[in-house]
Structure 1
Amino acid sequence: MASTTCLEKERELKVLSKEIRTWYGVLQFIPTSIIIWIATVASLATGTYCKQSNSVHFAHLWLTLLVGYTTTVAIINSVRFYKINKKLLQKHRILFKLLTFKGILGLNFLQSFIISLLAGHGKLIPTKYMTFHDINTGLASLILACEMPIFAVLLLFAFPPLPYKQQGSPAAGPLNAIFDAFNISDLLSAFYRGPMRLVRDQQRQIMRQDSIRIAMVSPGGHEEREGRSAVPAA
């Protein structure tokens, strides 16, 4: 009985650890994006960025790979979160929402990366119609601008307004809504308080299950078994 309980606790702790890793795997995208932006500005200021080159001696290659890595980790953990809570989220079509929203970011990164590779290897060169900045900056933006109407239509189906319509009066005014939109304290606290809340909830669940197991055991069962074991064999 004790070994079974220990195995169940170990299994529950593994699930909890997986949920915490998933939590941080999604939220890491925000601070890493800020760090990458700061590193990009610093490398541009020091002349070590060099967007037209894919050499390992410049920051452009490493920052591009880092953006791809952090984006991939965030998407994978978002899908993992969906799988863990599939029964609760399936009716909200979360996977469709995720693919519609993250598809814009993923496609933009992929297109920019391909254009950067082609420009770095001399396959895309400036002409009398396109300058160097047109190729490295304007071309990816132009392609994305042509694709955005498609994603705009998909977003209308992924995020219909009907579930968000309130039947009663508004809970707060527009100024409070604007303040809440700019208030990022809940986002900052999510990095610490969220996983800690998962730990506390998991501990309470384990204690509750232990209490149920103790209550299910008969009070006199243990004494009866001891009495039987004390009777000598005939």
Structure 2
Amino acid sequence: MSFHTFNMILSGACTAFTCLSIFVLMSMHATHLSKPKEQLKIMRISTLLPLYSVFSFLSICFPEIYVYLEPWLDVFQSAALGTFYLLMLELLAPATSRQDMFFAALAIPPSGSESAADSLSWYRKTWIAIFQYPAVAVILSLATDITQAAGVYCLESSKPYFAHLWITIFINLSLISAVIAVLKFYKSFKSQLKSHQPLAKLLAFKLIVGLSFLERIIFFALRATDVLKPDDQLTYADVNIGIPTMVICLQMVPFALFFHYAYSVRPYIIRRTLPAMEASVNPAYSAVSDERRYQGGPLGVRAWLAMLDLREIAGAIRFAFTMVFAGKSVGRGEELNKLGSR
């Protein structure tokens, strides 16, 4: 058996397990949708694992498309990172819209802020640092596909006249900036988030991002120094594509299990009382109104459809760039309110 065949079997099994495990978790949230604004974000974050696994498995099966698929994992990761930040905001200050969510959170001063102006500026910088990452990821993913098609990307080279080196540097700088901003935000509000298992939620997501970043650097260095190179057992595709993607498929398995703990559906399950018992103490009770406390619809169909709505993350990215172009005027309350109403 060749390494490629073995890799497809092992990675395929891991991918199937990851997808099934996350589908079960997402289905539980979809059918017990008692807090849609939180749970839809959890469902969107959870899609990162199946997407990572499926894209990695496809790259193993069809190595020729790896260079075109791999950069889009950064797009999925950046969207999940932004959604994780929005989830923390929602847990801190539940709101009815993205704009309200942001401005309601401004009422909570981060640790170390001395004034409302400092607090406002801190939130603005945090928002921009996080939501620049999805925009940068999309641009660099398109650049990767274009330069690869034009023959000037060169995956295995770190020479400055190839696009691979510069794209790798820029995407890593963007990732580091976003991750640091999220970590600072979590540190500032750790005590307020205590009742929501913040450390588990943080680790479940940040370990994926951290390992992905670390592995990218390691394999980039190994390829550049010829430590990993083809031999009698390993082909070029195995060395440059098969091994890195196999590692991703393997590590998604324990993360899929950990997600069931970190993003458990238990806090969102409404304990129903027996209709007869409830009616005896509450004449206005009806079993129909009890059922309506879950807003996912039959089999959670409405929840699945709502999860696919990308307007929230798109609006957050647009809002970040609006603040960048508005400059320092965003630090003033009146102008910031006008900005948020656009």
TM-score by length of 2: 0.51
Within-5 A mapping of 1:37-56: 37-56=141-160
Q: Which amino acid aligns with 1:129?
A: Q
Q: Distance in 1 between matches of 2:123 and 2:183?
A: 12
Q: Which amino acid aligns with 2:316?
A: A
Aligned with residue 317 of structure 2, among 176, 180, 191: 191
- In the TM superposition, residue 193 of structure 1 has moved relative to its aligned partner by 5.2
Moved over 6 A (4+): none
Equivalent position SS for 2:253 = helix
User: Which structure has the larger Rg over C-alpha atoms?
Assistant: 1
Please say if 1:97 is aligned against 2:201.
yes
Does the 8 Å CA contact 1:64/1:113 hold for their aligned counterparts? no
- In the TM superposition, residue 73 of structure 1 has moved relative to its aligned partner by 1.3
Q: Distance in 2 between matches of 1:189 and 1:62?
A: 29
Q: Which amino acid aligns with 2:295?
A: A
Hey, what does 2:111 align to over in structure 1?
A: none
Q: Which amino acid aligns with 1:78?
A: V
Q: Which amino acid aligns with 1:14?
A: D
Please say if 1:171 is aligned against 2:275.
no
Aligned with residue 306 of structure 2, among 176, 180, 193: 180
Does the C-alpha gap of structure 1 residues 67 and 95 become closer, same or farther in structure 2, counting only changes over 3 Å? farther
Aligned with residue 87 of structure 1, among 151, 167, 191: 191
Superposition RMSD in Å: 2.6
Q: Distance in 2 between matches of 1:40 and 1:51?
A: 10
Please say if 1:34 is aligned against 2:138.
yes
Q: Distance in 2 between matches of 1:32 and 1:184?
A: 17
Within-5 A mapping of 1:1-234: 11-167=115-271, 168-169=290-291, 170-173=294-297, 174-192=300-318, 203=333
Does the 8 Å CA contact 1:100/1:151 hold for their aligned counterparts? yes
Does the 8 Å CA contact 1:82/1:95 hold for their aligned counterparts? no
Hey, what does 1:208 align to over in structure 2?
A: none
- In the TM superposition, residue 102 of structure 1 has moved relative to its aligned partner by 2.2
Q: Distance in 2 between matches of 1:122 and 1:52?
A: 9
- In the TM superposition, residue 107 of structure 1 has moved relative to its aligned partner by 0.8
Q: Distance in 2 between matches of 1:119 and 1:187?
A: 35
Q: Please say which of residues 112-121 and 147-156 is displaced more in the overlay.
A: 147-156
Does the C-alpha gap of structure 1 residues 172 and 91 become closer, same or farther in structure 2, counting only changes over 3 Å? closer
* Count of residue correspondences: 193
- In the TM superposition, residue 192 of structure 1 has moved relative to its aligned partner by 4.9
Q: Distance in 2 between matches of 1:193 and 1:47?
A: 36
Q: Distance in 2 between matches of 1:153 and 1:172?
A: 24
- In the TM superposition, residue 151 of structure 1 has moved relative to its aligned partner by 2.0
Q: Which amino acid aligns with 2:144?
A: T
Higher relative CO (Cα under 8 Å, sequence separation at least 6) belongs to 2
Q: Distance in 2 between matches of 1:57 and 1:37?
A: 18
Equivalent position SS for 2:146 = helix
Does the 8 Å CA contact 1:79/1:95 hold for their aligned counterparts? no
Percent identity, aligned pairs only? Answer: 30
Q: Distance in 1 between matches of 2:308 and 2:249?
A: 27
Q: Where do 5+ consecutive residues of structure 2 fail to align?
A: 1-113, 272-289, 324-328, 335-342
Q: Distance in 1 between matches of 2:303 and 2:135?
A: 24
Q: Please say which of residues 112-121 and 124-133 is displaced more in the overlay.
A: 112-121
Q: Distance in 1 between matches of 2:307 and 2:179?
A: 24
- In the TM superposition, residue 30 of structure 1 has moved relative to its aligned partner by 1.5
Q: Distance in 2 between matches of 1:15 and 1:102?
A: 25
TM-score by length of 1: 0.73
Q: Distance in 1 between matches of 2:258 and 2:233?
A: 33
Hey, what does 2:337 align to over in structure 1?
A: none
